[in-house]
Homo-oligomer: A and B are copies of this chain.
Amino acid sequence: MIKIGELSKVTGCSVQTIRHYEKEQLIASAERSEGNFRLYDEAAVEQLLFIKHCRSLDLSLPEIRQLLALNRSPGAQCDDVNRMMDRHIEQVEARIQELTKLNEQLRKLRRSCSNRRTVKQCGILRNLSATPVSSG
Protein backbone atom coordinates (compact mmCIF):
# COMPACT_ATOMS: atom_id res chain seq x y z
CA MET A 1 0.00 0.00 0.00
CA ILE A 2 1.32 3.41 -0.98
CA LYS A 3 0.37 6.91 0.07
CA ILE A 4 -0.87 9.60 -2.24
CA GLY A 5 2.53 11.19 -2.79
CA GLU A 6 3.93 7.91 -4.01
CA LEU A 7 0.92 7.34 -6.24
CA SER A 8 1.46 10.79 -7.65
CA LYS A 9 5.09 9.99 -8.50
CA VAL A 10 4.25 6.63 -10.04
CA THR A 11 1.44 7.92 -12.22
CA GLY A 12 2.54 11.45 -12.94
CA CYS A 13 -0.75 12.89 -11.69
CA SER A 14 -0.46 15.63 -9.11
CA VAL A 15 -1.63 14.96 -5.58
CA GLN A 16 -4.42 17.48 -5.90
CA THR A 17 -5.56 15.94 -9.14
CA ILE A 18 -5.82 12.52 -7.51
CA ARG A 19 -7.90 13.94 -4.69
CA HIS A 20 -9.96 15.76 -7.28
CA TYR A 21 -10.63 12.53 -9.17
CA GLU A 22 -11.75 10.92 -5.96
CA LYS A 23 -14.17 13.71 -5.23
CA GLU A 24 -15.45 13.49 -8.80
CA GLN A 25 -15.95 9.76 -8.37
CA LEU A 26 -13.53 8.74 -11.07
CA ILE A 27 -11.68 6.59 -8.60
CA ALA A 28 -13.12 4.92 -5.54
CA SER A 29 -12.59 6.50 -2.15
CA ALA A 30 -9.27 5.19 -0.96
CA GLU A 31 -8.80 3.21 2.19
CA ARG A 32 -7.38 5.23 5.03
CA SER A 33 -4.53 4.59 7.42
CA GLU A 34 -4.94 5.06 11.15
CA GLY A 35 -3.75 8.61 10.77
CA ASN A 36 -6.35 9.16 8.01
CA PHE A 37 -3.90 9.04 5.10
CA ARG A 38 -5.15 7.64 1.82
CA LEU A 39 -3.72 4.22 0.95
CA TYR A 40 -3.55 2.81 -2.57
CA ASP A 41 -2.79 -0.56 -4.12
CA GLU A 42 -1.65 -1.64 -7.57
CA ALA A 43 -5.20 -1.56 -8.93
CA ALA A 44 -5.42 2.13 -8.08
CA VAL A 45 -2.23 2.76 -10.03
CA GLU A 46 -3.69 1.09 -13.09
CA GLN A 47 -6.99 2.88 -12.88
CA LEU A 48 -5.24 6.19 -12.58
CA LEU A 49 -3.07 5.39 -15.59
CA PHE A 50 -6.23 4.51 -17.51
CA ILE A 51 -7.67 7.89 -16.63
CA LYS A 52 -4.47 9.62 -17.53
CA HIS A 53 -4.41 7.91 -20.88
CA CYS A 54 -7.97 9.00 -21.53
CA ARG A 55 -7.16 12.57 -20.53
CA SER A 56 -4.20 12.58 -22.92
CA LEU A 57 -6.79 11.90 -25.61
CA ASP A 58 -8.77 14.88 -24.36
CA LEU A 59 -11.65 12.77 -23.17
CA SER A 60 -13.64 14.70 -20.57
CA LEU A 61 -14.07 13.49 -17.03
CA PRO A 62 -17.74 12.58 -17.63
CA GLU A 63 -16.71 10.63 -20.71
CA ILE A 64 -14.09 8.80 -18.71
CA ARG A 65 -16.61 8.11 -15.99
CA GLN A 66 -18.80 6.52 -18.64
CA LEU A 67 -15.93 4.39 -19.90
CA LEU A 68 -15.12 3.25 -16.38
CA ALA A 69 -18.73 2.30 -15.81
CA LEU A 70 -18.76 0.25 -19.00
CA ASN A 71 -15.53 -1.34 -17.99
CA ARG A 72 -17.34 -2.61 -14.94
CA SER A 73 -20.08 -4.33 -16.96
CA PRO A 74 -18.08 -6.54 -19.30
CA GLY A 75 -21.16 -8.30 -20.66
CA ALA A 76 -22.69 -5.16 -22.15
CA GLN A 77 -22.51 -4.33 -25.83
CA CYS A 78 -19.99 -1.67 -26.54
CA ASP A 79 -22.03 0.40 -28.96
CA ASP A 80 -22.09 3.15 -26.37
CA VAL A 81 -18.32 3.31 -26.29
CA ASN A 82 -18.26 3.59 -30.03
CA ARG A 83 -20.87 6.30 -30.15
CA MET A 84 -18.96 8.32 -27.62
CA MET A 85 -15.69 7.87 -29.42
CA ASP A 86 -17.27 8.88 -32.71
CA ARG A 87 -18.73 11.99 -31.19
CA HIS A 88 -15.45 12.84 -29.55
CA ILE A 89 -13.50 12.35 -32.77
CA GLU A 90 -15.98 14.53 -34.58
CA GLN A 91 -15.45 17.32 -32.08
CA VAL A 92 -11.69 17.08 -32.32
CA GLU A 93 -11.87 17.27 -36.08
CA ALA A 94 -14.21 20.22 -35.97
CA ARG A 95 -11.81 22.03 -33.67
CA ILE A 96 -8.92 21.30 -36.00
CA GLN A 97 -10.88 22.78 -38.89
CA GLU A 98 -11.71 25.85 -36.86
CA LEU A 99 -8.15 26.40 -35.78
CA THR A 100 -6.81 25.87 -39.28
CA LYS A 101 -9.08 28.55 -40.63
CA LEU A 102 -8.17 30.78 -37.74
CA ASN A 103 -4.52 30.25 -38.44
CA GLU A 104 -4.91 31.36 -42.03
CA GLN A 105 -6.65 34.52 -40.94
CA LEU A 106 -4.01 35.25 -38.35
CA ARG A 107 -1.16 34.79 -40.81
CA LYS A 108 -2.84 37.02 -43.33
CA LEU A 109 -3.36 39.63 -40.67
CA ARG A 110 0.22 39.32 -39.55
CA ARG A 111 1.49 39.93 -43.08
CA SER A 112 -0.29 43.26 -43.09
CA CYS A 113 2.40 44.74 -40.85
CA SER A 114 6.15 44.71 -40.96
CA ASN A 115 8.24 45.86 -38.03
CA ARG A 116 9.21 49.44 -37.39
CA ARG A 117 5.96 50.81 -38.55
CA THR A 118 3.97 53.08 -36.42
CA VAL A 119 0.76 51.94 -34.80
CA LYS A 120 -1.07 54.53 -36.80
CA GLN A 121 -0.04 52.89 -40.06
CA CYS A 122 -0.33 49.38 -38.72
CA GLY A 123 -2.25 47.08 -41.01
CA ILE A 124 -2.98 44.70 -38.19
CA LEU A 125 -4.88 47.20 -36.14
CA ARG A 126 -6.51 48.66 -39.21
CA ASN A 127 -7.71 45.25 -40.30
CA LEU A 128 -8.87 44.33 -36.85
CA SER A 129 -11.01 47.43 -36.79
CA ALA A 130 -12.67 46.50 -40.07
CA THR A 131 -15.61 44.16 -40.11
CA PRO A 132 -14.47 40.55 -39.88
CA VAL A 133 -14.18 38.77 -43.20
CA SER A 134 -17.20 36.56 -43.62
CA SER A 135 -16.51 32.92 -44.23
CA GLY A 136 -18.03 32.89 -47.73
Contacts and interface: CB of A to CB of B under 8 A. Distances in A.
B76 A119 contact: yes
| Dominant SS among interface residues on chain A | helix
Nearest to A126: B71
B99 A86 contact: no
B102 A99 contact: no
B82 A113 contact: yes
Interface string A113-135: 10111111010110011111000
Interface of A: 46, 49-50, 52-54, 56-58, 67, 70-71, 73-79, 81-82, 85-86, 88-89, 92-93, 95-96, 99-100, 102-103, 105-107, 109-110, 113, 115-120, 122, 124-125, 128-132
